[in-house]
Amino acid sequence: MQLEIGSGREFNHPVTTAPAAPPERRPAWHLFIPLLGGFFVAESLGIVARELVVSPGAYPGPWFRLFFSDTLHRKAWLALAAAVLGVTQLFTAAWIFRKLPWARPRLVNIVHRWSGRLAFLVTIPVAYHCVFKLGFQRPTARVLAHSLLGCSVYGAFASKVLIVRLHRFPRWVLPTAGGLLFAVIVAVWYTSALWFFRAVGVGI
């Protein structure tokens, strides 16, 4: 409040505040951080699968089959569940980034986060058996591709998590990382579960 000199009137000075500056984007070379992190995870998993296999080709007892008829059916169905959850991740991410023509659901962020967590969890029993019981194998092109892709899943996952946690990357970085992770998951499913269902048949 201030008096206007010579008029006897009072007037208010509007308080103006400068708009907050948007957070500064990270430079492009910072992408090497999540990329190197993902490469380290994938390479470490490949080394473990190649060098530290306890009993190559062995299948654990019934406790590890859960309620499935055998270990391979358990792995195939869990891989299918991971692929379905990956599709859920893809669609919810498209909603989050407003790339779909439908209205954005209220709980889309929660569904996106939990579908990603569940997708990671259901792959753990599969990865355990592949890494510590079967190991890194290459008898055929399909098996070699599956071994490489299986290691790449966790490398891509680690890179995406680092991108999310580090923040301030350009807007295209996170969708690209999520899309690559989804593509690797589908490729792993295609070279394992889908092949198994075609060769053996769908069953539990």
The 10s digit of each residue's pLDDT in 156-181 is 999 999 998 888 888 888 889 989 99
pLDDT band with cut points at 50, 70 and 90 for residue 1 = very low
In this model, does residue 114 exceed pLDDT 90?
A: yes
Report DSSP state, residue 135. -
In this model, does residue 11 exceed pLDDT 50?
A: no
170: left (phi over 0), alpha (psi -120 to 50) or beta: beta
The rounded percent of the chain whose pLDDT value lies above 70 is: 79
Q: What backbone phi and psi angles, to 5 degrees, belong to 65?
A: -85, -10
Q: Are 84 and 92 in contact (CB under 8 A)?
A: no
pLDDT of residue 22: 57
pLDDT of residue 126: 87
Nearest residue to 37 (alpha-carbon basis) of 137, 127, 133, 158: 158
pLDDT band with cut points at 50, 70 and 90 for residue 139 = confident
Average pLDDT over residues 91-98: 87
Beta bridge partners of 2: 11
Residues 6 or more apart whose CB falls under 8 angstroms from that of 9 comprise: 3
In this model, does residue 20 exceed pLDDT 70?
A: no
Q: What backbone phi and psi angles, to 5 degrees, belong to 122?
A: -70, -15
Least confident of 9-23, 116-130, 158-172: 9-23
In this model, does residue 137 exceed pLDDT 90?
A: no
Residues 6 or more apart whose CB falls under 8 angstroms from that of 52 comprise: 132
Q: Work out whether the CA dihedral 60, 63, 68, 74 comes out positive or negative.
A: negative
In this model, does residue 38 exceed pLDDT 80?
A: yes
pLDDT of residue 4: 45
- Is the pTM higher than 0.85? no
In this model, does residue 24 exceed pLDDT 80?
A: no
In this model, does residue 113 exceed pLDDT 80?
A: yes
Q: Which two tokens stand for residue 105?
A: 């659901």
pLDDT tens digits for range 39-59: 999 999 989 888 876 555 555
Beta bridge partners of 10: 3
Q: Which two tokens stand for residue 71?
A: 């270990």
Dist. CA 39–CA 41, nearest whole Å: 5
H helices present in 32-134, as ranges: 32-51, 71-96, 108-129
Report DSSP state, residue 51. H
